[in-house]
Amino acid sequence: MSDARAVPMVDLKAQYQRIQADVDAALARILETTQFIKGEDCGLFEQEFAAFCGVSRACGVANGTDALTLALKAYGIGPGNEVVTVANTFIATGEAILLNGARPVFVDVDEQTFTMDATRVEKALTARTRLILPVHLYGHPADMGAIGDIAQRHGLPVLEDAAQAHGAELQGRRTGGLGHAACFSFYPGKNLGAFGDAGAVASNDGAFIARVRQVANHGGGANKYDNVVPGTNSRLDTIQAAVLRVKLRHLDRWNQERRERAAAYTAALGGVPNVTLPKEREGARSAWHLYTVRVPDRDGLQAHLKARGIATAVHYPRPIHLQPAMAAAGGRPGDLPVSERLSREVLCLPLYPELPLADVERIAAEVRAFCGAGAARA
């Protein structure tokens, strides 16, 4: 047991080694040209990433949080407005709303996919609602058909938080094209990760992407020192764009490798008492950013795995309506029973394209042993 290899949550070094020659060549090219800002890789990555998502336009920005914050700004969302979103997400989803002076209105999530419960959205709408912001948590697309129908009836745009869901699909269409626009993060551990911080906004609405680009670059106009609206500096660096271009070529295969590992967990953990496994909704294809199980004794299982060298993570231990940072939104314990229960029961197991299948088997055997299903079947 003690000499078993330690298993991390992600292995960025293993990923780098698979593409090292191409990445090193791309970096050398940028160092040679010294076009660190607005180099040609920036525009090329935007085109290639938009094509990957099946949309016409994308704008690179400095990180996923800025993608959300600047997209909301480009919609003109500000004080007095409300945005309907979920609370079992990374804090950035709520921050982007608050930082624009608007109020997040949190709705609960569906038990099976952990994403926005579309049946609760309509009740959350008020005369102040300006936008609906679902999150494709763990890589699983939210119920965009039902959410889109509600949005259309009320004349509201839907913005996807697709930070965990590059390449996920619903009815054959990819995230990025499932709402009016989508925000992506290229944080290193995401399915598509930069060598630092990076993000993007994607949409079929060219005028909207132009507004995002404007606020991401000091509210710029036609000439360099035209500053038309208050903006900020949130550009995608050329070095990050060059790395992302190399990685994007591999993303479909990497997502497939994640899917195979997720399937191996599901096969090995089926029927284990007290363990609820992640499932895809009919018509949905997850990007499998995380493989997240539900167990009543989550902390016990996490300690059991840690003692055996197996890393795990809790995404997320506190739904964001209960974070002090979101106090202005007025959330209270008991508001969102499903989200609150999930925060006590979810555990993310290691899942990345390079994860050896033998490690999946070993991790599953340890989960079975802890949860009382006896030792490994093999």
Ligand X SMILES: *Cc1c(COP(=O)(O)O)cnc(C)c1O
107/87 Cα distance (integer angstroms): 7
| Dist CA 370 CA 378 (whole Å) | 16
Tokens at residue 140, please?
A: 């699983």
**Nearest residue to ligand X, by Cβ distance, number only:** 64
Instruction: Using CB under 6 A, pick the residue from 15, 65, 217, 312 that binds ligand X.
Output: 65
Residues 65 and 95 sit within 8 Å (Cβ to Cβ): yes
Binding mask 133-152 for ligand X (x = CB under 6 A): --x-----------------
Could you say whether residue 114 binds ligand X (CB under 6 A)?
no
Residue 64 binds to ligand X (criterion: CB under 6 A): yes
Interaction mask 84-103, ligand X, x per CB under 6 A: -----xx-xx----------
Q: How, if at all, do strands 159-161 and 181-185 pair?
A: parallel
Q: By C-beta, is 187 or 208 nearer to ligand X?
A: 187
161 near ligand X, judged by CB under 6 A: yes
Q: Where are the alpha helices (DSSP H) in the chain?
A: 12-18, 20-33, 40-53, 64-74, 92-99, 121-124, 144-153, 206-215, 238-248, 251-269, 298-307, 337-345, 357-370
Does the protein bind ligand X through residue 168 (CB under 6 A)?
no
Q: For residues 305 and 349, give the distance between their C-alpha atoms in angstroms, rounded to a whole number.
A: 10
Binding range to ligand X, per CB under 6 A, among 62-70, 72-80, 267-275, 295-303: 62-70
Regarding 217 and contact with ligand X (CB under 6 A), the answer is no
Closest to ligand X by CB, 134 or 231: 134
Binding of residue 286 to ligand X (CB under 6 A): no
Tell me how far apart the alpha carbons of residues 41 and 240 are, in angstroms, rounded to a whole number: 9
Q: How far apart are CA 177 and CA 180, in angstroms?
A: 7
Distance CA 149, CA 270 (A): 35
Question: Which residue lies nearer to ligand X by CB, 70 or 163?
Answer: 163
Judged by CB under 6 A, which of 59, 60, 63, 159 binds ligand X? Answer: 63
Phi, psi of 127 (to 5 degrees): -65, -15
Closest separation between CB of residue 372 and ligand X, Å?
A: 32
- Contact with ligand X (CB under 6 A): which of 85, 185, 214, 240? 185
Q: Are 190 and 12 in contact (CB under 8 A)?
A: no
Considering only residues 71, 159, 163, 310, which one is a binding residue for ligand X as defined by CB under 6 A?
Answer: 163
Output 287 or 371, the one with its CB closest to ligand X: 287
Query: Contact letters (x/-) for ligand X, 41-60, by CB under 6 A?
Result: --------------------
Residue carrying the six token digits 């914050």 = 69
Q: What are the residues whose beta carbons fall under 8 Å from the beta carbon of 202, sequence distance 6 or more?
A: 49, 50, 53, 55, 57, 58, 162, 176, 177, 181, 182, 184, 209
In the bound state with ligand X, the residue whose beta carbon lies nearer, of 322 and 367, is 322
Query: How many other C-beta atoms can be found within 10 angstroms of the C-beta atom of residue 253?
Result: 11
How many positions of this chain bind ligand X (CB under 6 A)? 15
By C-beta, is 175 or 359 nearer to ligand X?
175
Under the criterion CB under 6 A, does residue 115 sit at the interface with ligand X?
no
Choice between 146 and 313, CB closer to ligand X: 313
Query: Using the rule CB under 6 A, is 187 a contact of ligand X?
Result: yes
Contacts with ligand X, residue ranges (CB under 6 A): 63-65, 89-90, 92-93, 135, 161, 163-164, 185, 187, 197, 199
